[in-house]
Structure 1
Amino acid sequence: MRLLYLHQHFSTPEGATATRSFAMAGALAARGHQVTLACGQYAGAVTGLAGPFRRGRREGAVAGFRVVEFAIPCGNVQGAAARSRAFLRYAARATTLALAGRFDLVLASSTPLSVVLPALAARRLRRLPFVYEMRDPWPELPRAMGVGGPALWRAMSRVADAACRESRAVIALSEGMAETARARGARQVAVLPNGCDLALFGPGIRPWRPPGIPPEALLAVYAGAHGPANGLFQLLEAAALLRDRRLLILLVGEGAERPRLMAAARLLPNLRFLDPMPKPRLAALLAASQIGLHCLAPVPAFAEWTAPNKLMDCMAAGLPTVSNAGGRAARLLEADPLGPCGIAVPPGDPAALAAALDGLAADPDRRAALGRAGRAQAEQRWDRRLLAERFCAVLEAAA
C-alpha cells in the first residue's frame, strides 16, 4: 500500500510534542507499506529532517518512511488568526501533494480539522479513498469553549460531516468521539486511544531533576500545552493552598496562556515553569518525580471528548496521577479493573486538587501502589505497539 499520511503537527521523540503519528507511520512501514508523511513546522516538534527548504518544502527518510515537511510554522503561542492561516496554507500544499502523487490511500489526522480538506479533494477529484483520524471533535469542542462563532461552527460542521460520511473509516481516540463520528454518518468507526511508549517511559529510566531543586522536594509534574483549554490557573490556585512544604509543582511546556500564568505565579515559591523538553528528557524528569498531573478547564464536554496522552505517559512512568477531568479520564484513574492508579477530583475545584496532592505527599506507600497499578494498566492496555497493530489493520482494510 502507498499511503499518504497527513498530520500537520508530526514530531519524532526528539521533539517536545506528541509522537503518535511517528509510531503509527513506523509501524506501517515495518509491515512493508510505502508511507509518505506530510507535515508542517509545529512549535516544539522535531521532524528528523535537516538542510534547507526548497520552494517551501524539504523531504527525506525518517525511521523507514518518507517525510515531506512544508515551511509553515504553527504553534500554540500564535494567535487564532495566525494559526488559521497556517492551517489553510498546509491544507493547500497537502492538496497539491495528494493530487500529484501516486497513492492508494490517504490518512487525514486532525487536529486541525482543515487537514481533511486535501483528503476530500483527492476523494472527489481522483476517487482516492481516505481514512479520517479524529483526535478532537470539531466543531463540538470549540463551540463548547465559546471559541469562534455560529458561522465558523456551521462551516466546520459541514467539513466534519463530509469527512465522516465520505471516509472509508474513522479512527476515534475515545468512545465519545466515536459516537460523534457515527452521528455525522460514519460507516466504519474504530476506537484507538492514545497509548504510551513503554520503553521510553518506565521504571528503568535514569532520573533527572532540573538544577536548583532541593533533593527532598516532592515533584508533581504537568507536561503539556499552556492554553485556555488546559485551565492551568487551577494549578496555581491549588499551589497556594498546599500544606505540605515539600511539594513543588512543575509546569512543563508552552502556550498562549504561559505569560499570564508566569506573571500570576511570581509569588508562589512552590511552583516553577520549565520550557518544553524532548521526550527522553521528560521521561527522565518523570522518573525523578512523585506525582503526575493532568489538568483541563472545567468544560463539561471534555469529559468524554478528550484522550490525553499525558495520563498514559504518567502511567507508563509508574507515577500516580491527579486529574481534574471527569468522565473517561476519571474512570481510567479510579475505576479500572486492574485497580486505581490515581485520583480524580471534581473539575474546577482547586481546593480538591490541593487536598489530593497533600494526601499523596503524606502517603508514600499509597503513591507506590497507585504507580504500580498505573504501570500494569499501561502494559496491558496502552502499549503503543499493540495499538499500532490495530491501527495498521484498519488502514489495510480501508485500502
Structure 2
Amino acid sequence: MRITYIHQHFKTPAMAGGTRSYEFARRLVEHGHEVHVITGHPDGDRTRISTESGIVVHWLPVNYDNSMTYGRRLWSFFDFVRRAAAVAGRLRHDLVFATSTPLTVAIPGAYAALRRRVPMVLEVRDVWPETPIALGALRSPPSRWAALRLEAWAYRRAARVIALSPGMAESIQRRFPDVTVTVVPNSSDRALFAGADRAGEEVRRRTPWLGDRPLVLYAGTLGRANGVDYLVRMAARLADRDPDVRVVILGDGMMRDQIRDLAAELGVLDRNLFMLGPVPKSEVVAFFGACDLAVSAFVNIPELRNNSPNKVFDAFAAGRPVAVTHGGWIADLIAANAAGLVLPPDDPEGAAAAVAAFVRDGAAMTGAREAASALGRDRFDRDLLFQDFERVLTEARRAPRPRRTRRPHRAGRRTVRRAGR
C-alpha cells in the first residue's frame, strides 16, 4: 500500500519524545509499504523532505513545544491543518492514517482521503475533547460545542479507529456505537532497550550524585495534566525518611519553571531531586537502565485514567518496576501483576513511605523487575502489537471508499449539471 501518515509530533530516535509513529512507519516500510509521513518541525521557514529508515518525511515549518500556552497550541494545531492538507492533497495514496494528538489531524486526513477516494484510519491517543475540557483548556460553551462537533465528524469519516487503551475504546463506542474501534496500546521496544542495563551502569559511573544510590525516574512531559509537583513533594518527604534515594525528573513542558521553583522552595533541588532537560530517545534508554523505579504521573481526575503513557512501556522494555500516581487500567495492570507500586493519590507522605520501603526490599524489587519484563515481552512487545496495527490498516483498505459529491455548476440563476460520460 501507499500510505500517507499524518502526525504533527512525529519523532525519530535522535529526537526527544515518543517514537511510536516512527517505529510503526519503519515496520510498514520493511513489510513492503510505501510510507509518507507529514509532520511539523519548528526549524526553517519552508517544507523540507528527508528519508528516515525508508520513510519519506515531509517536515512542515510549524512551531510547537510543550511549554506553549493553550492558545498558542491551538494556533499551532490549525497552522498544521492548513499546511498538512496542502501536502497530503498532492500525494497519491491507497490509505490515509492520521494520529492524534491533536484531533485536528483528522481534518487534513479526511480531506486527503476524500480527494483520492481512499479510506482514512484515525488513531486516538487520548479521549478528546473530554481531556482538555476536564483540564480547563476548553472553557467557553462555543469552544466545547466546536470540539464535540469535530470529534463526531472525525469518527464518522474514519473507516477504522485505533484507540490506545481499553477505556478509550469503551468511551468512543459508548458514544459512537457504529464506529469500529481496535485497541493497540503503546508498546515495549525490547530491541531498543536491550542494552539498558549496561548503559545504566555507565550513567551511574559518570554521575557523582547518583553512584549506587536508589533512583526513582520520571521521564516525560511537565504539563498541567502530569501533576509532577506530586513527585517534588514526595522527594521532600524522602529527604527526611531516606535521603539517599534520588528522584530524577527528565523532560520539559509548560510547568517546568513552577516545578523547579517548588523544588527550590522545599529544599530538595539538587539535593535529592534533580531536574534534567529532554534527551533523545536513544539516551532515555540509559536512564531507564539506571533507575530502580520508573514513575507515571497524572493529576487525579477520571478523564486521565485511560491514558497509555510511553514511559510505562519503556520501563517494561527495560525490565523496571513502575509506580503510578493515578488510578485506571495501568494501575490495575501494575497491581494485578505485582510489577510495581500504585501510590496513593494526593498523599506524597504515603508515597514516600511506600517508595522508600520498596527500593530497599531486594526480594520485592527482583519480583517486580521480572513481572515488568514479562509484561513487555508477552503482552506489549512492539513487534507483536505492530501485527495488530498493520491488520487494521489492511482491513480498512478493503473497506468501501468514501464518495465524493460533485457540486453543481451555476450559470446565472440556472443550475447546470455536468452530464456523465
TM normalised by structure 1 equals 0.93
Q: Find the aligned partners of 2:273 and 2:224 in 1 and give their Cα distance.
A: 19
CA contact (8 A) 2:340 2:368 kept: yes
Q: Find the aligned partners of 2:123 and 2:144 in 1 and give their Cα distance.
A: 19
CA contact (8 A) 1:236 1:265 kept: yes
Aligned position for 2:93: 103
Aligned position for 1:171: 162
Residue 352 of structure 1 aligns to a residue in which SS?
helix
Aligned position for 1:9: 9
Aligned position for 1:366: 364
The amino acid of 1:167's aligned partner reads A
Aligned position for 1:190: 182
Equivalent residue in structure 2 for 1:301, among 300, 303, 309: 303
Q: Find the aligned partners of 1:382 and 1:216 in 2 and give their Cα distance.
A: 30
The amino acid of 1:318's aligned partner reads G
The C-alpha deviation readout for 1:120-162, integer Å capped at 9, x for no partner, is: 2234444332000000111111112222222212111111111
Between 368-377 and 94-103, the greater mean CA deviation after superposition: 94-103
CA contact (8 A) 2:324 2:342 kept: yes
CA contact (8 A) 2:7 2:105 kept: yes
Q: Find the aligned partners of 1:342 and 1:255 in 2 and give their Cα distance.
A: 26
Q: Find the aligned partners of 1:274 and 1:359 in 2 and give their Cα distance.
A: 26
Q: Does 1:201 align with 2:185?
A: no
Aligned position for 2:354: 356
CA contact (8 A) 2:92 2:116 kept: no
Aligned residue runs from structure 1 range 224-235, under 5 A: 224-235=220-231
- 1:98 CA drift (Å): 2.1
Q: Find the aligned partners of 1:346 and 1:147 in 2 and give their Cα distance.
A: 26
The amino acid of 1:152's aligned partner reads S
Residue 397 of structure 1 aligns to a residue in which SS?
helix
Aligned position for 2:414: none
Q: Does 1:130 align with 2:117?
A: no
Residue 221 of structure 1 aligns to a residue in which SS?
strand
Q: Does 1:139 align with 2:129?
A: yes
Aligned position for 1:19: 19
- 1:352 CA drift (Å): 2.4
- 1:9 CA drift (Å): 0.4
Aligned residue runs from structure 1 range 315-334, under 5 A: 315-334=316-335
- 1:14 CA drift (Å): 1.5
Aligned position for 1:48: none
Unaligned regions of 5+ residues in structure 1, if any? 43-51
Aligned position for 1:238: 234
CA contact (8 A) 1:222 1:250 kept: yes
CA contact (8 A) 2:294 2:321 kept: yes
Aligned position for 1:257: 255
Q: Find the aligned partners of 1:104 and 1:9 in 2 and give their Cα distance.
A: 23
Q: Find the aligned partners of 2:299 and 2:309 in 1 and give their Cα distance.
A: 13
Aligned position for 2:400: none
The C-alpha deviation readout for 1:241-280, integer Å capped at 9, x for no partner, is: 1111210100000000000111111111211101111122
Aligned position for 2:107: 117
**Percent of residue pairs identical:** 35
The amino acid of 1:22's aligned partner reads Y
CA contact (8 A) 2:38 2:88 kept: no
- 1:180 CA drift (Å): 2.3
Q: Find the aligned partners of 1:296 and 1:222 in 2 and give their Cα distance.
A: 11
Residue 171 of structure 1 aligns to a residue in which SS?
strand
The C-alpha deviation readout for 1:94-141, integer Å capped at 9, x for no partner, is: 111222221111111000111111122234444332000000111111
Residue 121 of structure 2 aligns to a residue in which SS?
strand
The C-alpha deviation readout for 1:58-78, integer Å capped at 9, x for no partner, is: 002111111100011201111
Q: Find the aligned partners of 2:224 and 2:66 in 1 and give their Cα distance.
A: 10
- 1:185 CA drift (Å): 4.6
Q: Does 1:281 align with 2:271?
A: no
Paired residue total: 385
Q: Find the aligned partners of 1:16 and 1:247 in 2 and give their Cα distance.
A: 26
CA contact (8 A) 1:98 1:118 kept: yes
Cα–Cα, structure 1 residues 397 and 214, in superposed 2: closer, same or farther, change >3 Å?
Answer: closer
Residue 276 of structure 1 aligns to a residue in which SS?
coil
- 1:340 CA drift (Å): 1.1
The C-alpha deviation readout for 1:173-205, integer Å capped at 9, x for no partner, is: 011111222223553111000001102224554
CA contact (8 A) 1:164 1:186 kept: no
Q: Find the aligned partners of 2:177 and 2:150 in 1 and give their Cα distance.
A: 12
The amino acid of 2:220's aligned partner reads G
Residue 246 of structure 1 aligns to a residue in which SS?
coil
The C-alpha deviation readout for 1:184-229, integer Å capped at 9, x for no partner, is: 3553111000001102224554222363324232110000000100
Q: Find the aligned partners of 2:278 and 2:390 in 1 and give their Cα distance.
A: 30
The C-alpha deviation readout for 1:20-48, integer Å capped at 9, x for no partner, is: 00011011111111110000027xxxxxx
Q: Find the aligned partners of 1:72 and 1:279 in 2 and give their Cα distance.
A: 22
| Rg larger in structure | 2
Equivalent residue in structure 1 for 2:84, among 94, 100, 111: 94
Equivalent residue in structure 2 for 1:160, among 139, 151, 154: 151
The amino acid of 2:313's aligned partner reads M
Cα–Cα, structure 1 residues 288 and 123, in superposed 2: closer, same or farther, change >3 Å?
Answer: closer
CA contact (8 A) 1:6 1:109 kept: yes
CA contact (8 A) 2:122 2:158 kept: yes
Equivalent residue in structure 1 for 2:380, among 371, 379, 382: 382
